Amino acid sequence: MSDQDRLNGVHPELNHQAIEENVRGILGLIGEDPGREGLLRTPQRVARAYDFLTSGYRMKLDDVVNEAIFSDANDGMIIARDIEVYSLCEHHMLPFYGRAHIGYIPDKKILGLSKLARIADMFSRRLQVQERLTVQICQALNEVLEPQGVGVVIKCKHMCMMMRGVEKQNSEVFTSSMYGSFRNQESTRIEFLDLIRTPH
């Protein structure tokens, strides 16, 4: 899949029936009885859960932005901090979760503030790695606004590190992506990083 396809969303609707059948098979393979009372409706619940948790594949960036781009002469930094993100690791399909900090400096166009969180949701509701999620949010803002600069920092905990493998419950992963003045101008980058670290 190309980077452009990843930005725009190209996947069809989920086949719930096929997912349910596969979940029943998995339940049997791990030694469970798919017919016992507590598991009877588990396949349907899992199908609905995956429909939501992977809904980002069926979203398009243009639809998420939905014409919420406005002309504005402001050239100060705009930051949405502590946006909650929940995603699934593509390696183990286990959750990772945390907070995203998104900033940009406009170039005659600003985006409705709620759209920053919706863009983060669009890309987090897919099978992901945190590194790519960070870059995709940054690329999307750069594409729709063509701003002077964009910066995205994400901090997450990964269940694949916490409940299996190395089992490090207190580990956190930080990733960042910077475009334009956030990458090229140290003062801009420092301002952004200082602001997202400011205590509540």
User: How far apart (Å, rounded) are the C-alpha atoms in residues 95 and 155?
Assistant: 14
Residue 64 DSSP class: H
pLDDT of 147 > 60? The answer is yes
pLDDT bin (cut points 50, 70, 90) of residue 11 is low
Start-end of H helices in the chain: 3-8, 16-29, 42-53, 61-65, 113-124, 130-145, 159-162, 181-184, 186-197
3-53 fold = GTP Cyclohydrolase I; Chain A, domain 1 (1.10.286)
CATH 3.30.1130.10 in the chain, residue ranges: 68-197
pLDDT of 8 > 70? The answer is no
Beta bridge partners of 149: 105, 180
pLDDT of 78 > 70? The answer is yes
**Model pLDDT, residue 167:** 72
Other Cβ atoms less than 10 A from the Cβ of 15: the count is 11
CATH 3.40.50.300 fits 68-197, yes or no: no
For residues 23-49, average pLDDT: 97
Say how far residue 70 (Cα) sits from the centre of its chain. 24
State pLDDT tens for residues 166-198: 777 778 999 999 999 999 999 999 999 999 998
CATH 1.10.286.10 in the chain, residue ranges: 3-53
Instruction: Please check whether residue 122 is in contact with residue 61, taking contact to mean a CB–CB distance below 8 angstroms.
Output: yes
User: How far apart (Å, rounded) are the C-alpha atoms in residues 53 and 154?
Assistant: 19
State pLDDT tens for residues 108-119: 999 999 999 999
User: How far apart (Å, rounded) are the C-alpha atoms in residues 68 and 78?
Assistant: 15
**Residues acting as catalytic residues:** 89-92, 130, 158, 160
pLDDT of 200 > 80? The answer is no
pLDDT of 4 > 60? The answer is no
- The amino acid at 152: V
Tokens of 30: 């791990």
**Model pLDDT, residue 171:** 86
**Per-residue DSSP letters for 174-186?**
EEEEEEEHHHH-H
